[in-house]
Amino acid sequence: MSKVLALSGVVIKELYRRKDFYVLLVLTVVLTLLMASASFFNDSKIVRILKETCMWLIWISALVIAIVTTARQIPSERESRTIFPLLAKPVSRGQVILGKFCGCWFACGIALVVFYIFFGTIAAVREHSLPLANYFQLFLLHWAMLGVIISFVLFGSLVFAAPSSNATISFISVIGILLLGRYLNRIASSQPQPMGSVIYALYFLIPHLEWFDIRQFAIFDHPIIPWIYCAGVILYAAFYCAFFLMAAWLVFRRKALNT
């Protein structure tokens, strides 16, 4: 476990030494100024529109950071040939996979904390309320969803030839699931066979990332969702993380590193 944590620490330091950290900082400042601009209006609807816009920017930024950071982890180790001394420590390939996953996931968690602290602070100043439970649930499910995405991209980094192709395919897959995943069963019912069965099977196989999206509860100050639902969704995320990480390990343990 200490080796996994050490690898995670290297990934986190690498992320915040690169421009990603500064982009995150600039985006945080922009989001803060955007929320502060609501002080020029007295209509609560405008404040909610701005909150929703900020939340969209947070989700897009977190998605970019998660996919881009994860996609370059193992390919960069192979290109710089640092993977050879790393595995000679000795560190197993499974520990490399787990360390890279934990490092990317923890780094994204730190980024989310920065975003949500600023978002919650400005929202509290404007609305004179601080629904901590709503924001905590929002953060928790968002972070769990990023875990699924990171494990998927990590698996893709061992399958696809280049980080750019992996990142592009991952972006398309994640956005497609978020936008269309919930409607696949309806689409399947209107398709002729065997296409209908294929789409219906796909509906049950893909990770339904839209289940983690509870932004509207925080934006419109709805009561928190039952914690049993949160626990179920987190277990759902853990299952898919384990599945993709196992698949990544199976590919990595048979993959030649000098190609």
Question: Which has more pLDDT, 13 or 226?
Answer: 226
259 vs 249: CA distance, rounded Å:
17
The pLDDT confidence band at residue 242, using thresholds 50, 70 and 90, is very high
The pLDDT confidence band at residue 60, using thresholds 50, 70 and 90, is confident
Residue 212, pLDDT > 70, answer yes
Residue in the structure block whose two tokens are 């929320």: 35
Helix (H, G, I), strand (E, B) or coil at 41: coil
Average pLDDT value for residue range 91-109: 87
Average pLDDT value for residue range 65-82: 82
Surface-to-core class of residue 15, CB atoms within 10 Å of its CB (0-12 exposed, 13-18 middle, 19+ buried): buried
Percentage with pLDDT > 90 across the chain: 21
73 vs 156: CA distance, rounded Å:
11
* Domains of the chain, residue spans: 2-252
